[in-house]
Structure 1
Amino acid sequence: MSWVDQPIFFVDFEGSRVSGILEYGVVMLLRGGIVETHTRLCAPTGRVRAEDTAVHGLSEATLAAHRPFAVEWDFFAQLRERGPLAAHYAGVENALLKGVWPYPRSSPDFARPGEWVVDWGPWIDSARLYAQLFPTLDSGRLEAVVSAFGLESELERAAAAHCPPDRRQYHCALYDALAGALLLARLARDPQLAGLTLLQLLALSTLDPVKRDALQQRELF
C-alpha cells in the first residue's frame, strides 16, 4: 500500500521541557489532502521563560486558565492507534511527548505490518525526508523549506481556514503543523514518491544508516 493511503498525523508542539507543552497542533493528512485539524493552548507545568515567550508569543498569564496538556492522553493515544505520527525534526516532538507519557497504548507498528508495539514511533520526519530527497537545500528549517518549494500561498490559505486568527505564523503549533503537512502533501504529488510504501517513507525519515537499513530489511520479509 502506498503511504498516501495511510492516515498520517502531523504534530507540532510549542513549549519546552521546562514549561511543558503550551500548545499543540495536529493535522491529519490522507491521500495528499488535509482531512482534519486540532489545536489548543495548554497550561504550563513549569516556568515559561521570557526568551521562549519572545519566540512563540505565549506567556504564563495568557495560559493560566487553560487545561494542562496531560488531559489529552486519550486523544493522542487514539491518534497513534490510527496512523503514524509525523513532525519536522521529529526528535523534538517525540521528546516532549514522552516527557508527558513515556509510552502510548499498544498500537500498530506501521514499520512492521501486522505487528503491535508500545512506542510513539517510528516517526515520519519531513526534515529528514527533504534532506535526503533534496540534498542541495540550503537549510532544513521549516520556513526555509516551505519557501524553497513555493508553498507560502498554500500555507497562508490553509492557515486562514484552520488556525485561530492570532496564531497564523511560524512558531504557532497548528501553523507549523500545517506547514509540515504541506511538505508531505507536496511529495504526494510526485508520482514516483507517492508510490513509496509507508515502510520506505519511514526508512527515509532517518539519517541513521543502521536504523534505515533495519527498516529497509523489514520490507524484504
Structure 2
Amino acid sequence: MCSVGTWADTPIHFIDFEGNRTSGILEFGVVTLQGGTIAATRTRTCAATGRVSAEDTAVHGLRAESVQGELPFAHEWEFFAALRERGPLAAHFANAENSLLKSVWPYPRTAPDFARPGRDAHEWGPWIDTGRLYPQAFPQLAEAKLERLVAAAGRQAELDALAAAHCPPHRRRYHAALYDALAGALLLLALLRRPEFAGATLPWLLQASTLDPGRRGALQQGDLF
C-alpha cells in the first residue's frame, strides 16, 4: 500500500443509479463517506429521456409517469462535477455507473488524480468498486450481489435503520438508488474497518478495484490511465 494518507482522509462518494441508456438515469443516490462515517446523502428521481420498459419498472419500481415533470439528470452537472473534484467515486460493480455517467457527460472537469497523488485527471474514474474488492478479500463467498453481501456482513439491520433516516419512505428497498448506495457504502466501511485494511490508502483501493492487468499496472507505475 502507498505511504500517503489513509482512505478516511478524503471524501469517498458512493453512487448508485436506477435506469439505463434507453430510459436515461431515472434516480440517483449518493452517499459521501468522510472520516470513516456517513457525512452526507442525496437522492432524487429524474425525468426519463427515453422509453421505460415494463421489465425495467419491475426491477426498480419507477415508471415514466411517476418521474414526469422532474428535472432531467443532466441538470445535476455541477453537483457531480464537484463530487469528482473533492474525492473519488465509488459503486458496487462500477462499470454500470461509469457508463451511465459518461453517457450524459463524457468527461468531468479537471480533478485530482486520487490514484496517483500530485497529478490531474480528466475521467470520472478510476472507481472504488466493492463488487471487485469483496471477491478478492473473501474468495469463499459464492457471489457478490449487493443484497447477499450485506446479509453476509451482518449489516441488514443497520442498512434499514439508515434507510429510515435518509431514504424516501417508498424507496427503502433494494434497486432504489439511495438504498443501494447506502448498502454499498456500508460494505465499504465494513471492509475498511477490518484490522488488515486499517492502513488502506486511496491509491491502493483504486488499484485493487481495477481488475484489468494493464490498467492496474498503469496505476501502480504512474503511467497514463
Superposition map of 1:1-221 within 5 A? 1-218=5-222
The secondary structure found in structure 1 opposite 2:169 is coil
Matched position secondary structure for 2:171: coil
**Whole-Å separation in 2 of the counterparts to 1:117 and 1:214:** 14
Stretches of structure 2 lacking an aligned partner (at least 5 in a row): none
TM-score (normalised: structure 2) = 0.95
Q: CA RMSD in A?
A: 1.1
Counting aligned pairs with the same residue, the percent is 63
Secondary structure (helix, strand or coil) at the match of 1:140 reads: coil
Secondary structure of 1:166's match? helix
Task: For 2:9 and 2:188, locate their aligned partners in 1 and report how far apart those are by CA, in whole Å.
Answer: 13
Q: What whole-Å deviation, never above 9, does each CA across 1:34-88 have from its counterpart, x for those lacking one?
A: 0000000000000000100011000011110111000000000000000000000
**Secondary structure at the counterpart of residue 206 of structure 2:** helix
Secondary structure (helix, strand or coil) at the match of 1:66 reads coil
For 2:131, give the aligned amino acid.
Answer: A
The one-letter code matched in structure 1 to 2:6 is S
CA contact (8 A) 1:32 1:184 kept: no
2: distance between equivalents of 1:181 and 1:34?
8
- Give the Å deviation of 1:210: 2.2
1:151 alignment partner AA: R
Cα deviation, residue 152, structure 1: 0.4
Cα drift, residue 32 of structure 1 = 1.9
Structure 1 segments of 4+ aligned residues over 3 angstroms from their partners: none
2: CA distance between counterparts of 1:97 and 1:70? 10
Structure 1 gap ranges (5+): none
Instruction: In structure 1, give the amino acid aligned to 2:14.
Output: F
